[in-house]
């Protein structure tokens, strides 16, 4: 799932590379998806009238001062498990799929109002929030020229949900629509909640008013496909897909490379680039960048010093990447000794000098987290009082806890996902801080991702690290409710606090935005003070290199299609 | 001889079947569930159960195994767990082809460097050059790839910009040079060693002395008599080296970003993609067995004194 | 090199060698200066590892965040890593790990299993031999490194669980934290690499020896089979075994590095050469940058591995010449 990213400290080097190259080898450890920032005012905000943009384009050609057409953009990526939008569950696939395909709505970069119309030009919410009526854009066509109609959406949604498609997320992202669950269960082929009013009007009925429904439609599961294309080519249709996004798939060699070509039938201004080439086989990113083999790369720890040296050529290419909306942490199983004692957990929190680690080990690539919700994210509050570094207080808390005596204290095993290298410096440094400041010895156990995720699901891990939680959509619910509500499936630590439950449940139905955020912040404060976690870092990637000829390549905290705005000034 | 070949050929499928069963066994022992891996961290137990059913994981091992063998006999190795909706062959074939090309390139480098150098060292036995060659090749042989690979990239790609730092663009490309060197240099060391030994052996033979005595030129003796005969035993070693390189190219593929079979199978282990892993093991084992057989047969043809039984 | 050379040895002596034989061998070995020096270097490296607790200058897991990424200095002979840990200390502890793994995997794998099975297969021949050889072929049909990784990945969690249960039920502490479990896992994972070659070697020798006159004589006198195997045949197989072992040790050390590189070997905080390499290069991705900016962090563990493999090969060569004068 996109939500969970491997935040192994060592993979910081990696994650940084991922930030803009999307490269990672950690299997399903869906990594931070590639990001992009607010496009320049001129670009494709749907609010801007299309004719204005056309003018922009023509002037570009005429004067030569604006965006130049053409060119090939090269980047490093990892091998996507699938390019079928309906099957996407991971960040690697997501980052490519959203460049090729599209749906009714898309995520924008404005976090206060993040949902932009895409193929739908507008929508209205009716019947107290249970009916959504979408109006499609005029003259919408697929990349092969076929018209896109409301019927295509109906077919696509039903196809996504069909058991033969074997989508693992259809239930989650489309299941709110009346009738979809029946299709998923194999009892039906058609959902009554999807109504084709006319060619350009689609009406979706959901089972209850849900504020996040629109967010779910931004996920590729809700993207539109071409029925003919899918049905005529069989299960490998995705090698030659007909699509609606800014690019089309030109070549796909599994494990080797993906080439995207401009979609001239895109509803908005066509992309400037002729091609985007994703190198899927990996390699030493920095060396490839310096050798002009790729146009963008994240900066890993090992290169940070050099890149920040003003006398280095590379220094000119350095750009800041806004941190992703993610938090990495050490998780505790609240049901197991010694983590059932709040004092003990707090002692562990107070004994770790995150600022020092960030400064010295990670050259400030990471930002110490003292709360859960990352800065800049809706619902972030600077008033959350974190558990700051204070070794004396930590020692006092340890002494007050039930596990002050090292002889009777249960064994502590901290498990980290270990595929692909070492457990990560964070884990080792944190463990050593516990040792030095509190005299607490722990065992670090490294297991592969497959084992890790299984044990995590089963609640078999006593304490774990190497994970971070990435926001799916810009709402505090994705952090506080999902992670700490006692009945949440991903509350791996089994944290249960009636007060927290009460707040997050109240927030679900609260209509007033300010009051809703207040609920989440109050719950967050409880979670932090009670030390349900040891939060470590917020967003890890903050530096990247972009070749000087690359223009309008932007970074943002949410994953949005970005190559349509990029142009090369060579 | 014929009986021997027939026996070997008959044994091969049994061996492959056993190897496949071994991977199946590992699949059950291994923690981590492919269905669960696919569904990610939000799946409910019912959802996981349904997915297991769909993937056929709910059936007992012997049944799955028999089904697998049945399919494999028809050339169907099943679908990958990780690459959704892709057949195993579709995934493996291009990767395997990349690895084969890379290893052949490496073998060529090893042969070009190794054989002449080994021959030269043998001819210079007793002088300082012989041990110098042997020892310096051994130094290169012992050099861990964790050093060789980044060093070559740093020097030839980043500093000199002669070749790309990573990637794959087919056999006839600049990209192949560094990885082929990385694998080929230790291989060259092996060839130097064997070529030297086998040349020394031939030099001592009577017919060589006779040839010299007959007044044949050094050149003719060197190349017609010594080198040709010394090459015979090297053929076997080439086969083994190629097979051995296969496993060794794993880290090279990782550092140079080459979409080869080594990477694929490593990922398959970590992703619990057992269909891919099993097929890979079967192909690898099959190739090894065949290579051995071909070498054995070639031997009997080249040297009639050898009898297979 | 490691796999092919020993199997070409075909010398078999008719009688068990006398004690003078070994003195003679040693004398001839010492004349080979390079091999002798290599043996000294190996001994020195291994002594560093064995005495790691004594000669360490710091604690191997002690981080010092105010002294990170330093070059070699008086206080830190090889410098420090990103967490400010002393590289020299970590290298000597890493060597200790290598030493332990080499010994355990050889004692369990090739010596115990390989030699015993080889003796049995060669002596009894027939179906026992056939079964053993076929199993060996299946195992050796896997690409080495893959099989090792597969075994390590699948076995580790099971063995760790088992060890924890043992610890909890018996009250013995530190089975897991001391790294014993890691050694067991790695030892088992390396088994396929080590046992089959050794077994084939021993079997080949035994096939010839079992019909030797003195063995036939012993059999005629009613000597028990184990006694024939271990007293009469085994001593004659010792030379090729020694040669084979000396060639194999480098490969074992390297395999540990690869396993730990992928996070399947030795568990932190205990250092190993592979853990150090994997950590500093971020699984290869940062290897170029590290080599350029902080070469000591990469070179410290690598040079040790390099020297071990090189020296063992030189020693193996010399032993091969000295012990098997006819084979080249």
Q: What is the pLDDT of residues A63-103, one digit of tens each?
A: 455 788 889 999 998 888 889 999 887 778 888 999 999 99
Q: A104: closest CA among A91, A85, A129, A87? A: A85
Q: What's the maximum distance between 2 C-alpha atoms anywhere in chain C?
A: 76
Read off the tokens for C254.
């390297």
- Partnered with residue A330 across adjacent β-strands are A534
> Residue A523 in contact with residue A480, Cβ under 8 Å?
yes
pLDDT at B255: 87
Q: Please indicate whether residue B120 or residue B289 has the higher confidence score (pLDDT).
A: B120
Interface of C with A in 48-67 (CB under 8 A): 61-63, 65-66
Q: Compute CA distances C80 → A45, A436, C73, C90, whole Å.
A: 50, 18, 9, 10
pLDDT value of residue B140: 93
Burial class of residue C59, CB neighbours in 10 A (0-12, 13-18, 19+): middle
What's the pLDDT at A352?
Answer: 93
On whether any CB of chain A is under 8 Å from the CB of B258, the answer is yes
* pLDDT tens, position by position, C80-113: 887 788 999 999 999 998 898 888 887 777 778 8
What subunits make at least 3 CB pairs under 8 angstroms with C? A, B
Q: Exposure string (b/e) for A357-393, b if CB count within 10 Å is 16 or more? A: bbbbbbbebbbbbbbbbbeebbbbbeebebbebbbeb
Chain A positions touching B271 (Cβ under 8 A) are: 27-28, 450
Question: Cα Rg for chain A, rounded, in angstroms?
Answer: 24
Q: How far apart are CA C270 and CA C59, in angstroms?
A: 11
CB C149 within 8 A of CB B27: no
State how far residue A166 is from chain B, nearest Cα, in angstroms: 8
Q: How far apart are CA A527 and CA A198, in angstroms?
A: 49
Q: Is B228 left (phi over 0), alpha (psi -120 to 50) or beta?
A: alpha
pLDDT in tens, B34-73: 887 777 666 667 777 888 887 888 888 888 888 888 888 8
Out of B44, B98, B150, the one facing A489 most closely (by C-beta) is B44
What is the average per-residue pLDDT within B106-130? 89
Tell me whether B252 touches chain A (CB under 8 Å).
Answer: no
**What is d(CA C48, CA C43) in angstroms, rounded to the nearest whole number?**
9
pLDDT in the model for residue A4: 40
**CB count in 10 Å sphere of residue C129:** 18
Give yes or no for B255 touching A (CB within 8 A): yes
* Contact criterion met (CB < 8 Å) for C268 and A443: no
At residue A526, does pLDDT exceed 90? yes
* A43, pLDDT greater than 60: no
Instruction: Decide if B11 and C134 are in contact by the 8 Å CB cutoff.
Output: yes
Q: Band of the pLDDT at B175, cuts 50, 70, 90?
A: confident
Task: Say yes or no for a CB contact (<8 Å) between C279 and A10.
Answer: yes
Element (H, E) at B212: helix B206-213
Mutual orientation of helices A391-400 and A342-350 as an angle, nearest 10°?
Answer: 160
Q: What average pLDDT values come out for chain C (328 residues) when binned by 10 residues?
A: 38 54 84 91 94 88 80 86 86 91 78 86 84 78 74 79 79 70 80 78 84 85 85 84 84 83 77 85 79 88 92 90 64
Q: For residue range B212-228, list pLDDT tens digits in order.
A: 777 777 777 777 777 77
Q: Give the DSSP H/E element, type plus range, for residue A524.
A: helix A513-529
In this prediction, residues B139-159 reach a mean pLDDT of 91
pTM of the model: 0.81
Q: How far is C138 from B21, CA to CA, in rounded Å?
A: 10
pLDDT in tens, A405-417: 888 888 888 988 8
C-alpha B211: how far from its chain's center?
39
C-alpha angle C198/C203/C209, rounded to 5°? 130
pLDDT recorded at residue B177: 92
Q: What percent of chain A stands above pLDDT 70?
A: 86
Give which of B50, B81, B84, B174 to mutate to test A binding, by max A Cβ within 10 Å: B84
Looking only at the bridges linking them, the beta strands covering A567-568 and A275-279 are unpaired
Tokens 């509500």 belong to A485
Q: Does the complex come out with an ipTM higher than 0.85?
A: no
Q: In what order do the strands lie in the sheet with A247-253?
A: A72-76, A275-279, A257-262, A247-253
Distance of CA A115 to the CA centre of its chain: 15
Q: Greater confidence, A444 or A526?
A: A526
Contact B79, B85 (CB under 8 A): yes
**pLDDT tens for each residue of B238-286:** 766 666 555 567 888 888 888 888 888 888 888 888 888 888 878 777 7
- The two tokens of residue C277 are 């390499």
* pLDDT band, residue B31 (cuts 50/70/90): confident
Name the band, by pLDDT with cuts 50, 70 and 90, for residue B302: low
Query: pLDDT value at position A119?
Result: 93
- Chain B CB contacts of C130 under 8 Å are none
Residue C164 burial (C-beta neighbours within 10 Å; 0-12, 13-18, 19+): middle
Residues 6+ apart with CB under 8 A from C14: C212, C213, C214
Whether A76 contacts chain C with CB within 8 A: no
> Does the pLDDT of residue A9 top 70, yes or no?
no
Contact B104/B176 with Cβ under 8 angstroms? no
| Candidate from C1, C277, C306 with C-beta closest to B190 | C1
């Amino acid at each position: 799932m996109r939500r969970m990213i491997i935040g192994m400290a060592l993979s910081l080097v990696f994650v940084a590379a991922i930030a803009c190259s999307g490269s990672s080898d950690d299997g399903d450890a869906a990594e931070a998806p590639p990001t992009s920032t607010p496009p320049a005012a001129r670009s494709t905000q749907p609010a801007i009238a299309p004719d204005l943009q056309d003018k922009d384009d023509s002037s570009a050609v005429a004067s030569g001062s604006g965006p130049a057409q053409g060119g090939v953009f090269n980047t490093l990526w990892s091998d996507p498990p699938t390019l079928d939008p309906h099957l996407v569950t991971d960040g690697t696939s997501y980052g490519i799929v959203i460049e090729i395909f599209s749906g009714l709505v898309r995520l924008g970069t404005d976090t206060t109002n993040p949902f932009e119309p895409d193929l739908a030009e507008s929508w209205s919410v009716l019947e107290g929030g249970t009916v959504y009526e979408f109006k499609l854009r005029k003259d919408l066509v697929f990349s092969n020229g076929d018209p896109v109609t409301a019927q295509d959406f109906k077919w696509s949604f039903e196809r996504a949900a069909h058991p033969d498609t074997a989508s693992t997320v259809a239930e989650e992202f489309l299941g709110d629509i009346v009738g979809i669950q029946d299709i998923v269960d194999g009892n039906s082929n058609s959902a009554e909640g999807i109504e084709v009013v006319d060619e350009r009007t689609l009406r979706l009925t959901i089972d209850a008013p849900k504020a996040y429904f629109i967010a779910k439609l931004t996920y590729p599961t809700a993207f539109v496909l071409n029925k003919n294309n899918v049905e005529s080519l069989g299960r490998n249709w995705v090698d030659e897909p007909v699509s609606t996004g800014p690019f089309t798939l030109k070549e796909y060699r599994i494990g080797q490379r993906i080439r995207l070509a401009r979609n001239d039938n895109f509803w908005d201004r066509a992309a400037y680039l002729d091609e985007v080439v994703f190198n899927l086989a990996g390699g030493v990113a920095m060396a490839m960048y310096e050798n002009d083999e790729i146009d963008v790369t994240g900066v890993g720890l090992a290169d940070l010093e050099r890149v920040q040296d003003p006398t280095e050529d590379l220094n000119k290419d350095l750009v800041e990447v806004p941190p992703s909306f993610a938090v990495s942490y050490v998780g505790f199983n609240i049901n197991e000794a010694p983590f059932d004692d709040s004092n003990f957990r707090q002692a562990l929190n107070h004994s770790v000098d995150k600022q020092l680690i960030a400064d010295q080990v990670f050259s400030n690539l990471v930002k110490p987290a003292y709360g859960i919700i990352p800065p800049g994210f809706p619902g972030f509050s600077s008033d959350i009082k974190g558990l700051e570094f204070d070794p004396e207080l930590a020692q006092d808390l340890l002494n007050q806890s039930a596990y002050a005596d090292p002889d009777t204290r249960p064994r502590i095993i901290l498990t980290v996902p270990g595929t692909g290298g070492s457990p990560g410096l964070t884990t080792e440094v944190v463990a050593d801080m516990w040792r030095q400041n509190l005299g607490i010895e722990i065992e670090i156990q490294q297991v592969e991702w497959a084992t890790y995720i299984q044990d995590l699901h089963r609640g078999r891990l006593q304490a774990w690290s190497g994970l971070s939680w990435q926001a799916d959509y810009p709402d505090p619910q994705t952090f506080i409710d999902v992670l700490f509500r006692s009945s949440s499936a991903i509350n791996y630590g089994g944290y249960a606090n009636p007060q927290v439950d009460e707040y997050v449940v109240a927030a679900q139905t609260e209509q007033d935005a300010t009051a809703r955020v207040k609920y989440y912040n109050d719950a967050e404060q409880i979670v932090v003070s009670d030390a349900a976690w040891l939060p470590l870092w917020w967003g890890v990637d903050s530096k990247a290199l972009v070749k000087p000829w690359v223009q309008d390549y932007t970074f943002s905290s949410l994953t949005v299609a970005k190559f349509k705005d990029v142009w090369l000034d060579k | 001889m014929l009986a021997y070949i027939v026996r070997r050929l008959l044994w091969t499928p049994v061996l492959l079947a056993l190897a496949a069963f071994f991977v199946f066994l590992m699949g059950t022992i291994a923690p981590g569930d492919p269905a669960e891996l696919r569904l990610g961290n939000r799946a409910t137990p019912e959802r996981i159960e349904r997915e297991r059913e769909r993937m056929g994981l709910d059936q007992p091992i012997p049944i799955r195994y028999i089904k697998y063998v049945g399919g494999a006999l028809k050339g169907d190795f099943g679908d990958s767990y990780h690459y959704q909706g892709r057949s195993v062959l579709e995934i493996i074939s291009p990767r395997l082809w990349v690895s084969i090309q890379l290893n052949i390139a490496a073998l060529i480098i090893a042969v070009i460097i190794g054989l002449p150098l080994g021959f030269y060292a043998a001819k210079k036995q007793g002088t300082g050059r012989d041990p110098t060659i042997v020892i310096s090749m051994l130094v290169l042989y012992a050099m861990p790839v964790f050093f060789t690979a980044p060093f070559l990239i740093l020097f030839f790609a980043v500093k000199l910009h002669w070749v790309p730092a990573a990637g794959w663009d087919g056999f006839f490309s600049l990209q192949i040079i560094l990885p082929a060197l990385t694998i080929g240099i230790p291989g060259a060391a092996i060839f130097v060693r064997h070529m030297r030994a086998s040349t020394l052996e031939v030099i001592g033979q009577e017919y060589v002395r006779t040839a010299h005595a007959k007044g044949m030129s050094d050149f003719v003796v060197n190349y017609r008599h010594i080198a040709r005969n010394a090459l015979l035993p090297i053929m076997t070693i080439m086969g083994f080296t190629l097979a051995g390189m296969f496993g060794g190219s794993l880290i090279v593929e990782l550092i140079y970003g080459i979409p080869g079979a080594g990477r694929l199978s490593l990922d398959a282990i970590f992703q619990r993609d057992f269909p891919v892993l099993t097929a890979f093991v079967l192909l690898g084992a099959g190739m090894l067995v065949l290579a051995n057989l071909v070498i054995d047969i070639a031997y009997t043809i080249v040297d009639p004194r050898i009898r297979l039984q | 090199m490691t796999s092919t050379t020993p199997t070409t040895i075909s010398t078999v002596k008719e009688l068990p060698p006398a004690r003078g034989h070994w003195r003679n061998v040693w004398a001839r070995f010492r004349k080979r200066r390079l091999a002798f020096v290599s043996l000294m270097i190996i001994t020195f490296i291994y002594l560093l590892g064995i005495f790691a607790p004594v000669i360490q200058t710091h604690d191997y897991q002690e981080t010092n965040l105010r002294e990170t990424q330093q070059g070699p200095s008086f206080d830190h002979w090889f410098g420090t890593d990103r967490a400010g840990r002393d590289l020299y200390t970590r290298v000597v502890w890493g060597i200790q790990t290598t030493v332990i793994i080499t010994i355990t995997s050889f004692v369990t794998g090739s010596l115990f299993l390989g030699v015993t099975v080889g003796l049995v297969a060669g002596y009894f021949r027939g179906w026992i031999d056939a079964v053993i050889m076929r199993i060996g072929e299946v195992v050796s049909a896997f690409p080495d490194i893959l099989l090792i990784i597969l075994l390590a990945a699948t076995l580790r969690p099971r063995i760790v669980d088992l060890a924890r249960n043992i610890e909890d039920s018996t009250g013995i502490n530190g089975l897991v934290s001391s790294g014993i479990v890691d050694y067991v896992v790695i030892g088992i994972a390396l088994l396929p690499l080590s046992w089959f070659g050794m077994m084939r070697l021993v079997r080949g020798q035994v096939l010839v020896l079992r019909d030797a006159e003195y063995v036939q004589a012993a059999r005629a006198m009613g000597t028990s089979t184990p006694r024939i195997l271990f007293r009469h045949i085994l001593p004659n197989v010792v030379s090729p075994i020694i040669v084979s072992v000396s060639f194999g040790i480098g490969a074992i050390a390297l395999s540990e590095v690869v396993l730990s590189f992928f996070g399947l070997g030795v568990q932190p905080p205990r250092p190993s050469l592979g853990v150090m390499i994997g950590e500093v290069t971020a699984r290869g991705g940062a290897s170029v940058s590290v080599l350029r900016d902080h070469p000591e962090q990469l070179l410290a563990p690598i040079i040790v591995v390099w020297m071990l493999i090189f020296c063992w090969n030189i020693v193996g060569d010399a032993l091969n010449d000295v012990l098997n004068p006819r084979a080249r």
